[in-house]
Structure 1
Amino acid sequence: MVSVGGVGEWGAAAVGQSVGVVAAVIIGYGWAISGPAIIAKSAHGDYITVLKESIYTRLVLLGPTTLVAAAACLFLIPNGRNLYTILGLLSTALLGLRFNWFLIGLGRPYVMLLTETLPRVAATLLGLVLMNMTSSMAVALIAQVIGLVLSALVSAFWAVTYVRRYAALPHEAVPPIKQSILTHRFGMSAAIVSAFYSSGPLILIGFTSPASVGTYAVLDRIIKQLFTAASPLIDALRGWVPRHDSSVQRRRAKMALAATAMGSGFAALLIVLVGAEVVKWFSDSQVEPDFWTMTCFGLFFAASLFSMVLGQVVLISFGLVRNLFYTSVLTATSGLLLAAVLSTFWGVPGVLISLVCGHALGILRNLRTLQSHLRE
């Protein structure tokens, strides 16, 4: 995409995608975080209640959220690149309509692969082919949007068909929208703060160090691809850790954290050693980061991965959603404030090391919260 559209158009789309990440969290209203644990612990009869509640809530939030996000994108990007910004927004905002959390909670990875992942990947690959044929980056973004809509419809159809078999079982009535919004407010709030912490730096660096936007946009895209690659493992943990038996859940939580610590450490080392060449290839040689930048980037990925599993998998499994929200606020506030200062002096490395510091504070607080809970 960088070679076809250039760093400018790529940066405009990246800003739209960053805003779209926050919009996706608002539309999804925390179901991606708390949903798998709810399904994993729910009786079969309650599946239909949970599914209907999530659909109603997200449809109510879809329109207003998308309009506000689009207005923000038009404000941030000059008129000549509005198209790429809006398409970038839609290519991530519509992620809030996904039903992967329901499939994860059921422990159906193959169904998720066929109904949710395959349509998105196929549309993205087709978009890349058409982009090279037409020399238009917009074509690739449109294909991504179509893939998201298609995957949401296919996975929704499967989920609705699946829960119908339990319609005759006793289940609670679907709560009113207002009650649902109040019930899930901490999960949504934690998710939106985390999403802003992930997307905010790109917007921030556009004000403090405009010359670094292209470089950070490429790094930001790469880390999103890394998390996309790691998402099957993270999703598996979301459905594996939560259990009715508290002793089993504790054991699985410890195993998940130990495996994540080792995996994130190895990934950080790999990024430091070969990451610069990957970035150079990914950006068509338009971005060539130095060793210090890649070291900060490796630490950022490792801290982000461990923080996600600790908070959004382990703490959620134990029902500590409110604590996760408070930690998310601490992480985002400290990291972004430090980034606002360091980015003016050190550019991209300053932003990355600031985000690492924010994650470190959040990890320490979450570990203390988990330790206190396990002692009870």
Structure 2
Amino acid sequence: MKDESLAGRVFGEVYRVQGRADLHEFLVHSVEASGGRVLYVSDPGRAPVYLGVQLDSDERMGMLVYPFRVTRNTIRNRPNDEVRGQLRYGSEDSWEREHPVGRDVAGVDVTMIIGLDLADGVLLGLDANLWDPLPMGISFYAKDAEIKHAEDSGWHVWEKVNRGGTRRSDARSPTNLETVVAFTPDRLIDYARLERRATSLRLDPPLRFAAATAMADHSPRDEPERRHVLEEQFALSSEQILDIIGGRNRLSVAVRGGVAEFHLERQLTGAPGIASVERLDVDAMHDFDVTLDDGTLLRVECKNASPKTSINGSFKVEVQKTRASKGDAASRFYAVNGFDVVAACLFSPTGRWEFRFGRTADMARHKHFPDRLAPVQTITEAWGDSLPALRA
């Protein structure tokens, strides 16, 4: 199909659609419910829908929305406790070719792929990075429980398994997981901000999950997003900073370690059986002091598990320092009594921010330095999935 102009601009392929005026109206309502004013909206007989939105402040936002209807129709061989959306634009014989998602090359407008569940008043946000190009004719599903969570809280985030199928042999996501956000109309602008950030920073599904979860509480609607202190300090955009990190291996490793520590602290804080969590940022010290509810103090070192498993399929984690002190070969290896627990982050092998916890007292020793830990430890069944589990 020849590209058409939409809102005086070209956004790739524009489809002629019928019977979607209610979706169009629901999007306009959602903009207003989320604190915006619609300055412009494209024709309801065309998809995607372009909306020019004015916020309470001077901030303006362009939204390019690919809306798809979500229903509760009974589907053969599918569970009854779910809703379904289907990506349908154009004639079925056109579905075999690629349908790239429209993008604003200037990065001013944000592109969103959204399922609209009009019956429940919930919107389902799909990852626009993963669903580009649009796999026409493909269905997407959400459980009733996820929709109910969104209805009750206004914003619900979960990870969904993503596998290859008959139309494509490979999974859409390299981690076999994708992040889905379900939200009510009053959170549409919040979701647009999430999608804008996820697109500009090229967030993968786990980082998208973390960003979406952090936005569970309302962000101020009348304030434009402010630059991070590091953007101000370095006189660089967040994307430029990430490009620098991504191009330097040691920086990437350090950042992944910091991200793992962030997720660990968040998971430990307030978890059952844990009284307090203190993060330490001191050279040559472990990462956390964690006090259990029985008063036990555990010194915890956070490490990233290897992306490669052992021959038997077990996870493994490297437990050693980057380099040794001059003239002391043993200094590269951790002393057995240097900390009590290793928290191994499983993101690298699984794509999930999960942890396994092992006692250093039970770990393998270095073959030449018996008071030091071996540099690579196998994560066995003796490792727990929580710190309190180590007491059992």
Bigger relative contact order, structure 1 or 2 (CA pairs below 8 A, ≥6 apart): 1
Where on the TM-score scale, by shorter chain, does this alignment land: which range? under 0.3
The structure whose residues are more often strand, as a share, is: 2
The structure whose Rg is larger is: 2
Given the two structures, how large is their TM-score scaled by the length of structure 1?
0.25
